């Protein structure tokens, strides 16, 4: 057991990462925040529209899209990614030559839309129910993705570990974006930051449309908002967010990033604007505390971030002022006492 | 019936297990051709391959059986959540004594899976969050805990070569005889329990309200099913992997669901598909020099599903499309016949042949379109076309069908005006729709209800059923010798 859980040392876990490594961890925390916040804000609408599991499906089925995009990228570059690995740092995908962002986004968008269409095809054209249709679609696409990744291990710049939990811990070792010779941020962080800002901006601009179509599709169409259009736009944006988050946190942990912040916030408030503020706070806590948890336990950073997010959910579940399991239990006891006293008084008086 | 056959299969499996199934890994490939490899894979000569084959078959049976129940109960994604939730349990099972002890992993994984399903249950019942959110949340959170634990174990000196990473995407080659014994016991348990409680499970799955009213312990049955489901997931883990095992539950069962309406047949088919997918997947992974087995099994299952989706005799897309096409063709033919009847009626049933021009102007379409319609009639033996004389003649069958369809149309118009009080000028479109689907029985009822009326609301003669059926020349139709309708030329 002692080997499994390293001894906790405050200095090693909390002080040294910040004092001795020159801010490498800042990028990890920032990346974690951007990923969780962008996913979380998109996820709020998935939860509202009861489409959480469509998010699950898309996050899985983005994999074949990415694999094909990487394959195409390596064919264009005419090289072999396996020789380009940065072996000494252990980075699975050190080479950015084959990671053509445009191809990646196209591949992911195609995969995302294909998933939505396939689910609808199976659901509408046969008597298979929607839940089974979701399960069949994403597992088939994910299986194809995994097979592509293992067959073309040399050409596809992805490996099984990256698929499962991403490589957010290595984000500081990626090439930096430079402006006028100054190193600014690592490319993935910059990209994710842009996606985060775009997510926030899009939600701000289309706030009313999303709100109305999520809560009352009938009212939305009477106001001239096409629900189908909103649905597919949301799916497309979901694919964009998922694919940007993919290399950081992998295919499966993305689901946690999508659902946990929104679900936690939904337990704490009924007001949508407050939900978004809580999502941001949740994301900040997850990424910072997750990093330190990962440093202590020496486990994957993305996994630790999700564990912290899940803990926050559990806390909200237990102690939410209005809906918490424990607080609600106490309140009903207090109310029960009040009723008893009233009864006693009525009997006496 | 199906259950008994499966029991037979299992007996064979156990008999084979009694032989020495060693835990050796699949050796280097010595065969080069696909055929030789196939012979080696399926001939059961190689004990390691025998283990792979048996293991894949067993997991196919148990996943197919349990998957059928979750598919018909619309709980497919519960299987997904459960299968991701077992990962921390697998890791803890490893920690028990830091080796791959099948029993410890089995217990740990089952407990973790059940804890996952209970958490989903608790979240949906104590918060306002909906089931889909709860499922996704539990799935990803448990998986995150599991992945952290797995990586921590791999860091240990003994953990690195323990093979725990094989649990993520599955490697059937890592199955050993202990695993197989466990799989056999669990599959046998599932088969026996499902055959014993078949009726109860059936009622519970399709009509929970009735089951409760009949005094069945529905909650107990539900939890029992969840336990069996967890068992099925856990024994499949080693070969399929945590990430994709839910597909082995859902996909074969959904394919079976497309092919039959009877639960016992569905169970049998799902188990068969599961076995086929398992073995095919293991074989493909073997050909690919020990690539992960899970994705190949899932892909094989998806292909089976795609086959059922496209080619299923009753619910398949192609069958439906064919049915739809033949229906619309029939409607088209009947409309042509009706038009020919109208042409004849328009000239008071005088003269035999109808020219193409008459048909085209009646239907308001071009000569080419009418020619197409006519060819469809000729192909079906309803009319003949005298090319030099430019004349269309109805065959006896065509004449009978034409009158039947006109009769249906006019009867319905009369029914709507007389009995339902529709305005006489509003009934035509309704009748255009229904004339093609009225059955003989309904037509007789209509005639009786309308007192065998002979004229429709527009004053036209309704061909009577007796006339059509016996063709005795009476009724509204002019005598046969006067005109030649229905003669074969």
| pLDDT, tens digit (0-9, with 9 covering 90-100), for A33-48 | 999 999 999 999 999 9
- In this prediction, residue A84 carries a pLDDT of 42
Residues of B in contact with A128 (CB under 8 A): 71, 254, 257-258
- In this prediction, residue B134 carries a pLDDT of 92
Least confident of A139-148, A149-158, B15-24: B15-24
Q: Are B75 and A147 within 8 A, CB to CB?
A: no
pLDDT at A83 over 50: no
- In this prediction, residue B68 carries a pLDDT of 94
SS3 A86: strand
| CA distance linking residue B355 with residue B339, whole number of Å | 12
| CA distance linking residue A309 with residue A239, whole number of Å | 22
A153 close contact with B: CB closer than 8 A: no
Choose among B143, B125, B87: nearest CA to A255.
Answer: B143
| CA distance linking residue B105 with residue B98, whole number of Å | 11
How near does any CA of chain A get to the CA of B101, in Å?
Answer: 18
Determine which helix (DSSP H) or strand (DSSP E) holds A179, and give its type and residue range: strand A176-179
For A172, counting Cβ atoms within 10 Å of its Cβ (0-12 exposed, 13-18 middle, 19+ buried), the class is buried
- Partner residue facing B169 (CB), from A146, A252, A304: A146
pLDDT at A180 over 80: no
How near does any CA of chain B get to the CA of A181, in Å?
Answer: 39
How large is the average pLDDT for residues B223-233? 90
pLDDT at B8 over 70: no
DSSP3 helix / strand / coil % (chain A, rounded to 5): 80, 5, 20
How near does any CA of chain A get to the CA of B52, in Å?
Answer: 19
> What does residue B352 show for φ and ψ, rounded to 5 degrees?
-95, -65
- In this prediction, residue B62 carries a pLDDT of 94
**Start-to-end CA span in chain A (Å):** 65
Q: Are A150 and B292 within 8 A, CB to CB?
A: yes
| CA distance linking residue A232 with residue B43, whole number of Å | 51
- Partner residue facing B250 (CB), from A47, A136, A298: A136
- In this prediction, residue A7 carries a pLDDT of 75
SS3 B157: coil
| CA distance linking residue A283 with residue A32, whole number of Å | 8
With cut-offs at 50, 70 and 90, classify the pLDDT of residue B489: very low
pLDDT at A2 over 60: no
Q: Are A147 and B244 within 8 A, CB to CB?
A: no
Q: Are A307 and B145 within 8 A, CB to CB?
A: yes
Q: Are A150 and B291 within 8 A, CB to CB?
A: yes
Least confident of A165-179, A195-209, B110-124: A165-179
Q: Are B144 and A3 within 8 A, CB to CB?
A: no
What homologous superfamily is domain A10-348 in, according to CATH? ABC transporter involved in vitamin B12 uptake, BtuC (1.10.3470.10)
How large is the average pLDDT for residues B310-333? 88
Higher pLDDT, B29 or B448: B448
| CA distance linking residue A55 with residue A254, whole number of Å | 9
pLDDT at A156 over 80: no
How large is the average pLDDT for residues B363-389? 83
With cut-offs at 50, 70 and 90, classify the pLDDT of residue A14: confident
Tokens of B43: 């001939």
| CA distance linking residue A3 with residue B363, whole number of Å | 88
- In this prediction, residue A33 carries a pLDDT of 94
Q: Which of A229-233, B64-68, B97-101, B202-206 has the highest mean pLDDT?
A: B64-68
Q: Are B247 and A299 within 8 A, CB to CB?
A: no
pLDDT at A282 over 90: yes
- In this prediction, residue A307 carries a pLDDT of 94
With cut-offs at 50, 70 and 90, classify the pLDDT of residue B28: very low
Q: Which residue has the tokens 């109310």?
A: A335
| CATH number attached to the domain at B329-489 | 1.10.10.10
Mutate to test the interface with B, among A7, A51, A53 (most CBs of B within 10 A): A53
| CA distance linking residue A93 with residue A247, whole number of Å | 9
Mutate to test the interface with B, among A59, A64, A67, A131 (most CBs of B within 10 A): A131
- In this prediction, residue B17 carries a pLDDT of 43
- The residues near A64 (Cβ < 8 Å, ≥ 6 apart) are A111, A141, A142, A144, A145, A148
With cut-offs at 50, 70 and 90, classify the pLDDT of residue A22: low
Choose among B448, B416, B418: nearest CA to B434.
Answer: B416
Using one digit for the tens of pLDDT, what is the confidence trace for A242-264?
888 888 888 888 999 999 999 99
Count Cβ atoms below 10 Å from residue B383 Cβ, excluding itself: 25
Query: Which chain B residue is nearest to residue A124, measuring alpha carbons?
Result: B317
SS3 B143: helix
Tokens of A121: 């095809």
Q: Are B76 and A134 within 8 A, CB to CB?
A: yes
Domain ranges across chain B = 2-315, 329-489
- In this prediction, residue A93 carries a pLDDT of 42
Long-range (24+ apart) CB contacts under 8 A made by B6-9 are B6/B61, B6/B191, B6/B268, B6/B271, B7/B191, B9/B57, B9/B61
Using one digit for the tens of pLDDT, what is the confidence trace for B121-147?
899 988 888 888 999 999 999 999 999
Choose among A149, A165, A64, A150: nearest CA to A107.
Answer: A64
Q: Are A298 and B77 within 8 A, CB to CB?
A: no
- In this prediction, residue A21 carries a pLDDT of 67
A57 close contact with B: CB closer than 8 A: no
| CA distance linking residue B398 with residue B377, whole number of Å | 8
Q: Between A and B, how many residue pairs show a Cβ–Cβ distance under 8 A? A: 198
Higher pLDDT, B358 or A31: A31
How large is the average pLDDT for residues B464-486? 46
Q: Are B126 and A299 within 8 A, CB to CB?
A: no
Q: C-alpha angle with apex B317: B315 to B322, nearest 5 degrees?
A: 95
Please, what's the largest Cα pairwise distance for chain B? 105
Contact present, A283 and A40 (Cβ < 8 Å):
yes
- In this prediction, residue A323 carries a pLDDT of 75
pLDDT at B396 over 60: yes
- Partner residue facing A126 (CB), from B80, B246, B309: B309
pLDDT at B364 over 70: yes
With cut-offs at 50, 70 and 90, classify the pLDDT of residue B342: confident
pLDDT at B209 over 70: yes
- Partner residue facing B250 (CB), from A5, A132, A317: A132
Choose among A177, A149, A181, A179: nearest CA to A164.
Answer: A149
- In this prediction, residue B88 carries a pLDDT of 93
Residues of A in contact with B115 (CB under 8 A): none
| CATH number attached to the domain at B2-315 | 1.10.3470.10
How large is the average pLDDT for residues A293-321? 90
Tokens of B54: 């048996």
A5 close contact with B: CB closer than 8 A: yes
With cut-offs at 50, 70 and 90, classify the pLDDT of residue B303: very high
The per-residue pLDDT of chain B, averaged, comes to 81
With cut-offs at 50, 70 and 90, classify the pLDDT of residue B468: low
Residues of A in contact with B298 (CB under 8 A): 139-140, 142-143
Least confident of A174-178, A320-324, B239-243, B332-336: A174-178
């Amino acid at each position: 057991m002692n080997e499994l859980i390293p001894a906790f040392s405050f200095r090693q876990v909390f002080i040294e990462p910040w004092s001795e490594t020159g801010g490498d961890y800042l990028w990890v925390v920032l990346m974690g925040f951007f990923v969780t916040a962008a996913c979380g804000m998109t996820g709020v609408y998935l939860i509202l529209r009861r489409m959480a599991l469509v998010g699950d499906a898309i996050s899985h089925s983005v994999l074949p899209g990415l694999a094909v995009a990487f394959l195409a990228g390596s064919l264009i570059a005419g090289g072999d990614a396996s020789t380009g690995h940065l072996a000494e740092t252990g980075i699975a995908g050190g080479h950015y030559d084959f990671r053509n962002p445009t191809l990646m986004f196209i591949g992911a968008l195609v995969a995302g839309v294909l998933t939505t269409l396939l689910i609808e095809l199976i659901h509408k054209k046969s008597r298979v129910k929607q839940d089974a249709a979701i399960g069949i679609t994403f597992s088939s696409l994910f299986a194809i993705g995994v097979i592509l990744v293992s067959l073309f291990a040399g050409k596809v710049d992805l490996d099984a570990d990256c698929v499962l939990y991403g490589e957010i811990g290595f984000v500081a070792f990626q090439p930096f974006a430079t402006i006028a010779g100054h190193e600014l941020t690592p490319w993935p962080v910059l990209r994710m930051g842009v996606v985060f800002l775009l997510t926030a901006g899009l939600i701000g601009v289309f706030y009313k449309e999303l709100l109305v179509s999520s809560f009352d599709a009938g009212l939305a169409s009477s106001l001239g908002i096409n629900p189908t259009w909103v649905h597919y736009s949301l799916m497309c944006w979901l694919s964009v967010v998922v694919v940007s988050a993919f290399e950081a946190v992998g295919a499966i942990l993305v689901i946690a990033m999508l659902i946990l912040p929104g679900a936690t916030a939904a337990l704490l408030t009924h007001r949508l604007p407050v939900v978004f503020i809580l999502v941001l706070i949740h994301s900040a806590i997850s990424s910072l505390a997750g990093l330190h948890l990962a440093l202590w336990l020496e486990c994957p950073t993305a996994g630790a971030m999700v564990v912290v997010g899940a803990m926050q959910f559990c806390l909200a579940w237990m102690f939410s002022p209005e809906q918490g399991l424990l607080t609600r239990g106490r309140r009903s006891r207090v109310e029960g006492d009040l009723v008893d006293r009233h009864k006693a008084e009525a009997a006496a008086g | 019936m199906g259950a008994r056959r499966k029991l037979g299969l299992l007996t064979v499996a156990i008999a084979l297990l009694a032989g020495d199934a060693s835990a050796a890994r699949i050796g280097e490939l010595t065969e080069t051709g696909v055929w030789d490899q196939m012979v080696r894979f399926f001939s059961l000569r190689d004990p390691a391959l025998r283990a792979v084959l048996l293991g894949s078959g067993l997991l196919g049976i148990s996943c197919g059986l349990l998957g059928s129940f979750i598919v018909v109960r619309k709980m497919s994604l519960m299987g997904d959540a459960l299968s991701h939730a077992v990962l921390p349990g697998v890791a803890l099972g490893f920690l028990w004594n830091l080796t791959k002890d099948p029993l410890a992993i089995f217990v740990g994984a089952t407990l973790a899976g059940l804890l996952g399903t209970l958490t989903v249950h608790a979240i949906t019942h104590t918060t306002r969050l909906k089931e889909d959110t709860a499922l996704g949340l539990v799935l990803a959170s448990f998986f995150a805990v599991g992945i952290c634990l797995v990586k921590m174990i791999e860091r240990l000196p003994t953990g690195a070569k323990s093979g725990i990473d094989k649990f993520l995407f599955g490697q059937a080659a890592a199955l050993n005889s202990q695993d197989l014994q466990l799989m056999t016991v669990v599959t046998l348990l599932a088969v026996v329990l499902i055959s014993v409680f078949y009726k109860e499970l059936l009622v519970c799955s399709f009509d929970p309200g009735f089951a409760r009213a009949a005094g069945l312990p529905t909650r107990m049955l539900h939890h029992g099913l969840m336990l069996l489901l967890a068992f099925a997931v856990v024994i499949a883990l080693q070969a399929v992997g945590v990430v994709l095992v839910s597909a082995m539950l859902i996909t074969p069962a959904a394919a079976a669901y497309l092919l039959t309406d009877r639960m016992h047949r569905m169970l049998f088919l799902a188990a068969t598909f599961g076995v086929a997918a398992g073995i095919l997947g293991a074989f493909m992974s073997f050909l690919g020099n020990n690539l992960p087995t899970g994705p190949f099994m899932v892909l094989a299952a998806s292909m089976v599903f795609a086959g059922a989706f496209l080619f299923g005799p009753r619910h398949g897309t192609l069958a439906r499309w064919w049915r739809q096409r033949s229906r619309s063709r029939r409607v088209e033919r009947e409309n042509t016949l009706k038009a020919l009847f109208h042409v004849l009626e328009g000239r008071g049933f005088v003269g035999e042949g109808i020219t193409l021009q008459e048909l085209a102007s009646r239907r308001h379409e071009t000569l080419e379109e009418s020619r197409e319609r006519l060819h469809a009639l000729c192909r079906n033996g309803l009319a003949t076309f005298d090319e030099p004389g430019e004349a269309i003649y109805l065959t006896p069958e065509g004449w009978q069908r034409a009158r039947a369809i006109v009769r249906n149309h006019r009867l319905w118009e009369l029914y709507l005006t007389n009995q339902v009080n529709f305005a006489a000028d509003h009934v035509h479109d309704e009748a255009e729709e229904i004339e093609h689907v009225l059955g003989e029985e309904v037509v007789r009822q209509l005639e009786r209800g309308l007192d065998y009326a002979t004229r429709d609301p527009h004053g036209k003669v309704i061909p009577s059923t007796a006339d059509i059926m016996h063709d005795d020349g009476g009724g509204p139709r002019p005598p046969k010798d006067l005109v030649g309708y229905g003669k074969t030329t």
